[in-house]
Structure formats: C-alpha cells, structure tokens
C-alpha cells in the first residue's frame, strides 16, 4: 500500500513534540517529505531531527510541491483557516491542529472548503482516542447509560498560563494570534470529547463568564501582550434536553477539580480517568476497567482498533483507505460554536443563542493576512 507523503507547516513546539514523533512511529505508512517555517533555525533543526528532505521558507512554496499529498498545519490558531483553505484549494488533504480556527466563521469556511474541493479535513482532538473515550463510547452507544441528560466539561491547571507561567510561546496568550485563552487551548479537548461521546448535538443557548484575575510575571506579560482569559465558566443548552456545565482553568487558586463526567438515567461516567457508576438490584456500583488489557487486545486480537487510538494513526489510516475518517471537522466546528458563544455571552453580559454567533460571522483571518 502507498506511503502517505506529508508536508509539515510550522516547525514549532507541537510539530516537534508530537507530530514528528507520531509520524515516525507509523514507519513506512507515512513519510514527512517536506516542511516549512519562516524561522530558518527551526526549519533546519526540525528537518535534521526528522530526516525531512525538502525545506521551504514560505507556505506557498510547500503548497506548490506536487509530491506533498497532505499537509499538517501546526501554526497558531488564526492561521489555521487561511492555510487549510488554500491547501485544500490546491488539492491537498489537511490535518490541522486544535482549535479548528480562531473563530466559528473561519472554522465553517474550512469545513465548506473541504466540501467544495472534495478534500479530507481532520482536526487534532486528542481526547477522543484515549481509553476513557474508548470505554465510554461503547457504553453510551449500546444504551447502558439510558437517557444522557447532562455533562460536565472540566479542565484544571493551577498555574499553567502559557509563556507567562513558563511553558509555550507568546502567541498562545495573544488574542490577535490565538483568538482566545484557556477555552481555545485546553477547553477544546474536553468539550470535543463530550460532543464526540454524546452524538455531537446542536447547541442552542449559552451563558459564559471569562476571568483574568491572578497576577503574572510583569516582564513576560509586557513581552507577550497577554490579553486572553485564564478561567472560563459556562452553561450550554443543547437540543434534546441535554445540558453541559463547564469550567476551564489555566490558573486558579485551588488544588484540584474533578474531571469531566456524563450523567444518564441508567448510569454515569467520569472521564480522564474513567469510572462507571450505576445501580443494579438496588446495589450501587462504582466500576473501572483494565487499561492494560484494552491496550493489549487492541494491539493483538482487534488490531483495527489501533486506527482509533491516536490522532495521527487515525489520519494516516483514513488517507490509506483503511478506515473512514472520524467527523472531527464537524465536532471541531461545533466545539468552536460553543466556544465563541461563551465568549460572546461573557462580552455582552447575558445569555446568547448560537444563532446570534452564526449570524455575526466574525472572521479572524484578516488579522493574520499580513503574515502571508
Ligand atoms: N504547544 C503545545 O503544547 C500544543 C499542544 C496542542 C496543540 N497545539 C496547537 O498547535 C498550534 C501551534 O502551537 P505551537 O505551540 O507549536 O506554536 P509554536 O509557536 O511553537 O509553532 C508555530 C510555528 O509556526 C511558525 N510560523 C509562524 N508563521 C509562519 C508562516 N507564515 N509560515 C510558516 N511558518 C510560520 C513559527 O515560526 C513557529 O515555528 C496551535 O494551534 C496550538 O493550539 C499546541
């Protein structure tokens, strides 16, 4: 079977820490044939580390390379949409880092471009492949939870704002480049996991409150122009009487938060780590499962499950025609709608309908136009 030829766009932290190593683990199923970055040192060291033959200093040059069949967009958020759309227009399939884009309108434009140009579009939503998701999906789809009516999306860091607290680059905390803070950076994983597990239902009404309250290193604050939220709380009403409450923290004065959960009439689940709670014969059960056994069986008896245990592995398998591509573009888009509705609600100080956000059609692509 063919080796998929990938081009990496943006040779920064995530391309180096995850995408490069994850492609290497897939052996001759995939090859990184080209890479691109505007910073020559990053490009050179990336290509040396991962044995990449072709080096480009502009996105346009990489997109003009006919050997590149699919691109992997590892740029900052507001650059996802223009890059992905141009790549699909030029006939490339696209794998894109999360969040899907810097705004809902831009994410929608990506999904529309995929349809228009007949290309595959995959968004990196890592938590849908973890063992919690694997077990939860089976229980929910088989009806063991009964009617699923509420979910809680949580993410906790005590002092983990990118750059100003130590880790990551300045771009994460600039609304011009990233589009938002904790919600777009971490919340995207937790919300998308819940949407994936519960059928990606349509959000209708949203209330959100964003906060930036804790002090930070003043030199790093000035250098980065920090202007995004460190904490967000919210509530979302979906179709079919499903609700979700949410708290996502980059920084807060608390030692821990309980992980995300899903409540159903016949059972409940906690995720990351997983536990299953139900009542049988009037006895209350709290159950876990054996992750080691799952991993062993996935890699032996049910080897096809390996296409669903890692985002890169899934993407490459889908490009090789070995499995259908999960609807990560649809889930990423819905996640983005919820996120933008939370921000709008916080800005306006009232509940908003998702229709308002869709109608507003706010694009952040123009913000980065000068970078091309
Ligand atoms: N860092 C993480 O832990 C992490 C984790 C998951 C997802 N992500 C996502 O990955 C994306 C990138 O994050 P990162 O941390 O790797 O950022 P980064 O700043 O380390 O990397 C971005 C790279 O893009 C390059 N670049 C900028 N403009 C360019 C242009 N016009 N042409 C070519 N290259 C250009 C930069 O030089 C840089 O090397 C973001 O969307 C982020 O949300 C990051």
Mean pLDDT, rounded, of the chain: 95
pLDDT in tens, 294-304: 888 888 888 88
Q: Is 75 in the pocket of ligand 1 (CB under 6 A)?
A: yes
Bond before 99 cis per omega within 30 degrees: yes
Q: Is 73 in the pocket of ligand 1 (CB under 6 A)?
A: no
Would the pLDDT of 372 be above 60?
Answer: no
Q: How far is the CA of 142 from the centre of ligand 1 (A)?
A: 39
| Beta strands per DSSP E along 243-355 | 243-249, 261-264, 268-270, 275-280, 283-287, 352-353
Question: What CATH number has the domain spanning 4-126?
Answer: 3.40.50.720
pLDDT in tens, 3-52: 999 999 999 999 999 999 999 999 999 999 999 999 999 999 999 999 99
Mean pLDDT check: name the lowest of 169-178, 197-206, 225-234, 256-265.
169-178
Cα distance between residue 255 and residue 348, in whole Å = 31
pLDDT in tens, 153-183: 999 999 999 999 998 889 899 988 888 999 9
Q: How far is the CA of 360 from the centre of ligand 1 (A)?
A: 28
- pLDDT of 87 reads 96
Pocket test for ligand 1, best of 11, 13, 43, 101 (most atoms within 8 A of CB): 13
Look at residue 327 and give its three-state secondary structure: coil
Would the pLDDT of 115 be above 70?
Answer: yes
In this prediction the pTM is: 0.96
Neighbours of 264 (CB within 10 A): 21
- Of 185 and 366, which is predicted with more confidence? 185
pLDDT in tens, 274-286: 999 999 999 999 9
Mean pLDDT value of segment 109-121: 98
Cα distance between residue 36 and residue 44, in whole Å = 9
Sign of torsion over alpha carbons 345, 350, 351, 353: negative
CATH class entry, domain 128-289+329-360: alpha beta
Grade residue 367 by pLDDT with cuts at 50, 70 and 90: low
Q: What is the DSSP letter of 303?
A: G
Rg value, the chain, Cα: 21
pLDDT in tens, 49-98: 999 999 999 999 999 999 999 999 999 898 999 999 999 999 999 999 99
Q: How far is the CA of 70 from the centre of ligand 1 (A)?
A: 18
Q: Report how far apart the first and last C-alpha atoms of the chain are (Å, whole number).
A: 36
- pLDDT of 369 reads 54
Would the pLDDT of 365 be above 80?
Answer: no
Mean pLDDT value of segment 113-121: 98
Mean pLDDT value of segment 312-317: 96
Pocket test for ligand 1, best of 37, 64, 107, 182 (most atoms within 8 A of CB): 37
Q: Is 244 in the pocket of ligand 1 (CB under 6 A)?
A: no
Domain limits, the chain: 4-126, 128-289+329-360
Cα distance between residue 349 and residue 47, in whole Å = 48
Q: Is 11 in the pocket of ligand 1 (CB under 6 A)?
A: yes
Q: How far is the CA of 129 from the centre of ligand 1 (A)?
A: 22
φ and ψ of 140, to 5 deg: -70, -50
Q: Is 126 in the pocket of ligand 1 (CB under 6 A)?
A: no
């Amino acid at each position: 079977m063919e080796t998929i030829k990938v081009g990496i766009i943006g040779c920064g932290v995530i391309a180096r820490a995850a995408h490069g190593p994850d492609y290497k683990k897939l052996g001759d199923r995939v090859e990184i044939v080209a890479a691109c970055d505007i910073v020559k040192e990053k490009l050179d060291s990336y290509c040396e580390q991962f044995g990449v033959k072709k080096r480009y200093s502009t996105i346009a040059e990489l997109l003009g390379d006919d050997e590149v069949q699919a691109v992997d967009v590892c740029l900052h958020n507001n650059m996802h949409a223009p890059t992905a759309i141009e790549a699909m227009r030029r006939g490339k399939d696209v794998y894109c880092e999360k969040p899907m884009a810097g705004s809902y309108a831009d994410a929608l434009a990506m999904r529309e471009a995929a349809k228009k140009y007949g290309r595959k579009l995959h968004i990196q939503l890592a938590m849908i492949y973890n063992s919690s998701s694997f077990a939860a999906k089976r229980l929910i789809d088989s009806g063991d939870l009964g009617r699923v009516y509420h979910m809680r999306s949580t993410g906790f860091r005590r002092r983990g704002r990118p750059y100003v607290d130590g880790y990551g680059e300045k771009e994460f905390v600039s609304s011009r480049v990233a589009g938002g803070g904790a919600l777009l950076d971490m919340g995207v994983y937790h919300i998308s996991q819940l949407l994936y597990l519960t059928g990606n239902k349509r959000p209708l009404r949203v209330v959100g409150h964003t906060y930036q309250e804790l002090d930070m290193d003043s030199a790093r604050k000035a250098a980065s122009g920090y202007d995004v939220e460190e904490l967000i709380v919210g509530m979302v009403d979906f179709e079919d009487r499903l609700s979700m409450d949410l708290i996502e923290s980059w920084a807060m004065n608390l030692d821990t938060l309980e992980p995300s959960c899903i409540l159903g009439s016949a059972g409940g689940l906690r995720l990351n780590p997983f536990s299953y709670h139900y009542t049988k014969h009037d006895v209350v059960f709290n159950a876990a499962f054996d992750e080691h056994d799952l991993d062993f069986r996935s890699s032996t008896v049910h080897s096809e499950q390996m296409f669903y245990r890692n985002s890169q592995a899934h993407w490459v398998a889908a490009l090789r025609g070995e499995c259908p591509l999960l609807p990560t573009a649809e889930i990423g888009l819905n996640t983005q709608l919820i996120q933008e509705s939370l921000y709008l609600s916080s800005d306006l100080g009232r509940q908003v309908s998702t229709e308002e956000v869709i109608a507003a059609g706010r694009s952040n692509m123009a913000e980065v136009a000068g970078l091309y």
